[in-house]
Amino acid sequence: MERLIPTLKKDGVELDLILLIRTILAATKEIAFRVSQGELSGVLGSTLDENIQGEVQKKLDVLANQLLKDMLSDDDSVRSIASEEEEFVVPVHSTAPYIVAFDPLDGSSNIDINGQIGTIFTIYRARDDVAANSPEQFAQLGTEQVCAGYVLYGPSTYLMMTTGGPTRGYTLDLTHGGYLLTVPEVTLSQDSMEFSANMANYRYWQEGVQHYFDQVLYSSEDYKDVTMRYNGAMVGDINRILIKGGVFHYPSDARAGNENGKIRLLYEANPLAMLIEKAGGKATAHGKRIMALPPTSLHQRVPVVMGSNNLVDEFDKAIFSNSNV
């Protein structure tokens, strides 16, 4: 099995970007170790604070965020950092070539139950027309990403990443501490009938979305082989879809703050959309390509449907062709 850096070199990735990726992954290895220790490392449970999203922070949220910030701040290729846990952009090196955004620990509700959690990250080229501390640094389309990926902390530590070419899978080899290429090219199945959606939110969805899921779950013969999988960590659900096919849904709903969805465009939707697209799938919001959405704010939220082409197309056609949402 080939190691990560030789693979990136074969893909023609620039050396400074390779080194930046290595910095991010060094932080994920430390997070993976803390996760594997669980209660032994004193990282379980919640703090008394809320993040900018209004969510109670877990101890491991804070630790993962600080680890990534510290390591990226020491990397002279990083101009600016944006985190789901931070209200503002963190300026680093004013003339550096790259900016990095991340969700340090996706699925934090799973931390205390030893469930799936992960780190999502994305890299863009820095803008020279705005200051390093400006949110405008990150006001770039998802199509401008030069790298997107996530690390899933599960039975094994698994990296899914693209630098503009194929989506590739890597597994952390604990014998030497490096990521090894284990899936050279991920190809998303178009035959799966797996759906990932939080059905507890059904009561808050708009009528057109409810009707669509009524068909999926109860009425239509077209969905007789359907299965539902949802584990409360988007990174885990997307990993399953990339490997087995299917579709992930997180629609907007009637709850305060969720009118435009819950998934953050910068930290979650864009990087995961890039991975899905590079594996041959689709990712949309309001029937439009996620990576073509103009960002309006650092913590912008969007509704999400992503996965196998046929299932994304069916949903978008059912909902938006009749203007039900």
pLDDT in tens, the chain (325 residues): 899 999 999 999 999 999 999 999 999 999 999 888 777 666 665 554 555 555 556 788 889 999 999 999 999 999 999 999 999 999 999 999 999 999 999 987 887 888 899 999 999 999 999 999 999 999 999 999 999 999 999 889 999 999 999 999 999 999 989 999 999 999 999 989 999 999 999 999 999 999 999 999 998 777 888 999 999 899 999 999 999 999 999 999 999 989 999 999 999 999 999 999 999 999 999 999 999 999 999 999 999 999 999 999 999 999 987 554 4
Alpha helices in the chain (DSSP H): 4-10, 15-37, 59-73, 207-214, 234-244, 270-278, 309-320
Q: Which residue's entry shows tokens 């939707």?
A: 269
Contact (CB, 8 A) for 239 and 158: yes
pLDDT at residue 111, as a whole number: 78
Nearest to 117 by CA among 158, 146, 87: 158
Hey, what are 286's tokens? 């309001």
pLDDT at residue 324, as a whole number: 46
Phi then psi dihedrals of residue 217, to 5 deg: -90, -30
d(CA 68, CA 29): 11
Q: Which residue's entry shows tokens 């109860």?
A: 218
Nearest to 72 by CA among 24, 32, 30, 119: 24
Phi then psi dihedrals of residue 247, to 5 deg: -145, 145
Hey, what are 284's tokens? 């949309």
**Greatest C-alpha distance within the chain:** 58
Decide the pairing of beta strands 98-106 and 78-83.
parallel
pLDDT at residue 46, as a whole number: 57
d(CA 276, CA 273): 5
SS3 (DSSP) at 156: coil
Residue 318, Cβ density class (10 Å: 0-12 exposed, 13-18 middle, ≥19 buried): middle
Decide the pairing of beta strands 147-153 and 117-125.
antiparallel
d(CA 96, CA 106): 27
